[in-house]
Amino acid sequence: MSEIKKYDVLIIGAGLAGLYTAANLPANLNALIVCKDVPWECNTFYAQGGIVTALDEEDVPFHIQDTINAGARHNKLKAVEVLSKESIEIREDFLKRGMPFDVDENGNLLYTKEAAHSTNRILHAGGDATGRYMHKFLMEQNYHKLQRNTLVYDLLIENGRCYGARAMVNYKPVTIQASSTVIASGGIGSLYKYNTNSRTVSADIHGICVEKGIALKDMEFMQFHPTVFVKTPFARKLLLTEALRGEGAHIVDEDGYRFLFEYDKRGELASRDIVSRAIFLYKRKTGKKVYLDFSMFDEKWFHKRFPNITKTFAKIGYNLPKDRVEISPAFHYANGGIECDLYGRIPGVKGLYVAGEAACTGVHGANRLASNSLLEGAVFAKRVATAILNDKNCLVGHPKFDKDYDTQLHEENDKAYKHKLREIMWKDVGIVRNKQGLLEAKNFIYDTKNKKIGRLLELRLNTAAAIVNAALNRKESLGSHYIEDETQNKGNE
Ligand SMILES: Cc1cc2nc3c(=O)[nH]c(=O)nc-3n(C[C@H](O)[C@H](O)[C@H](O)COP(=O)(O)OP(=O)(O)OC[C@H]3O[C@@H](n4cnc5c(N)ncnc54)[C@H](O)[C@@H]3O)c2cc1C
């Protein structure tokens, strides 16, 4: 029998969404934040470029428009309105709490621009270390209990009510009962061979949701970042922030040719899906290597504006901004996720909420506008906290949940299947898709699910299946979902 702990609120995830939900819950509430590994192993910590806020009331309609244009008009308009209107209040809240965003010599906030934004409206911190600064800031402010090395492997749900979760805490199974449970477990990066994400972001909780019949939405819209250095031995590949292109860096082939203009008149400033696809198709067509070129930047300015990137690349032998860096697109962000309402409530399951990259609030539509995700995490985390305080989630009794998976989390061959899955997701469910590849991926997933595998791999496969099925169901290209053989698909039906 596993040990039992009781809390008012359980928050699964210690990234921006989890920590900012907690920051908006009073100290007298008995809340527990858990994370799988050390708290800084999360996507929030690795975010570079910045966080969007509408500059003022007048900018709100323009921010909404930019978000919807990037999202291929697949966005939920109400959610985008909430995101943009409440962004100003979120900025003021962070400033009031003392968040050190970058300012000029007169103390004015510095705003930068990224692809597909019509104006400079992105706040940053530590130059290009926005996520790290925000994470450190929220960790320092946190007054709730935070428990690391706690891997959630099941949600306790019965008759439309969530009672908490089961987790492995330092390798021991624990039942964590909670009146309210918040999923803030991030995206799905580890499903792809090439990805920019933290190793902790592996779609476990999405997979539990699939198992429990909780809807995932817009899962075909996986975002690939165009400028990633993939030649490292680690699973997490090195991102070169969008802000570099916003500030004027060029994408060139090995001859220095800026080929992007053949694909979109905005060149480097087209949205991520367009730039990623253009690089993928140009490389396939010409066999040439593609680079990010910073040689136009003043060295001193570059080192001050992008200290993190300068340092990281110096460690692997690059002298920026003089050297150009070979790039490839890589998986970056899950536009889709666990379906929820505008307060992060998960329909049909009382006491269960979702915020951050794990959620599908509908703000991103078919493709996320750069730097909107930290903002989404903050805006909707605050709303989740509001909902928890308003909803009457008090637990009366606790059903007996007999099934436990504590001894079945891993099986011998899981690692090999996991790697194969990551290869297949990259090859067949990546930037450019076709029906045959998607069907092959589906077959692999279903075959593997029938083998002797551990629970954590099964959860990954559940999420991968949701992505593949969503991709098969959307027959036409839209936003970040690109089908190469649309006409053939239609003809085959
Ligand atoms: C390299 C990089 C750069 C980025 N740059 C920007 C940017 O400039 N601007 C922007 O807006 N967005 C950016 N993003 C996206 C943004 O950082 C993320 O979308 C956002 O930080 C997600 O926050 P989150 O709190 O939802 O999840 P995360 O910060 O990823 O946190 C997830 C948490 O869940 C925990 N967890 C996961 N599974 C379990 C489990 N089974 N049990 C227990 N705990 C679990 C993890 O341990 C972690 O604590 C970037 C992303 C990356 C990877």
Contacts of 35 (CB under 8 A, 6+ apart): 13, 14, 18, 41, 42, 146, 147, 148, 150, 200
Model confidence pLDDT, tens digit, residues 387-437? 999 998 887 788 889 889 988 999 999 999 999 999 999 999 999 999 999
Start-end of H helices in 51-170: 60-70, 77-97, 130-141
The reply to whether 305 falls in a domain is yes
- Pick the residue whose CA is nearest to atom 4 on ligand 1: 47
Exposed/middle/buried for residue 82 (C-beta within 10 Å: 0-12, 13-18, 19+): buried
Q: How many CB atoms lie within 10 A of CB 65?
A: 13
The reply to whether 352 falls in a domain is no
- C-alpha 16 – ligand 1 centre gap (Å): 7
Model confidence pLDDT, tens digit, residues 291-313? 999 999 999 999 999 999 999 99
Distance (Å, rounded) from C-alpha 124 to C-alpha 112? 8
For residue 2, what pLDDT is reported?
Answer: 81
The reply to whether 175 falls in a domain is no
- Write the CATH number for 235: 3.90.700.10
The reply to whether 291 falls in a domain is yes
- C-alpha 259 – ligand 1 centre gap (Å): 32
- Among residues 276, 311, 331, the one where a domain terminates is 331
Among residues 195, 135, 162, the alpha carbon closest in space to that of 13 is found at 135
200 lines ligand 1 (CB under 6 A): yes
The reply to whether 14 falls in a domain is no
The reply to whether 222 falls in a domain is no
Please identify which residue in the block is written with the tokens 């399951």.
Answer: 349
For residue 267, what pLDDT is reported?
Answer: 95
The reply to whether 434 falls in a domain is yes
- C-alpha 197 – ligand 1 centre gap (Å): 8
What is the extent of the structural domain holding 255?
Answer: 231-331
- Pick the residue whose CA is nearest to atom 51 on ligand 1: 47
- Among residues 277, 298, 331, the one where a domain terminates is 331
Domains in the chain, number = 2
- Write the CATH number for 446: 1.20.58.100
Ligand 1 atom nearest to CA at 43:
30
The reply to whether 182 falls in a domain is no
Contact yes or no for 253/288 (Cβ under 8 A): yes
Residues of the chain with pLDDT under 50: 488-493
Could you say which DSSP state residue 179 is in? E
47 lines ligand 1 (CB under 6 A): yes
- Among residues 278, 313, 331, the one where a domain terminates is 331
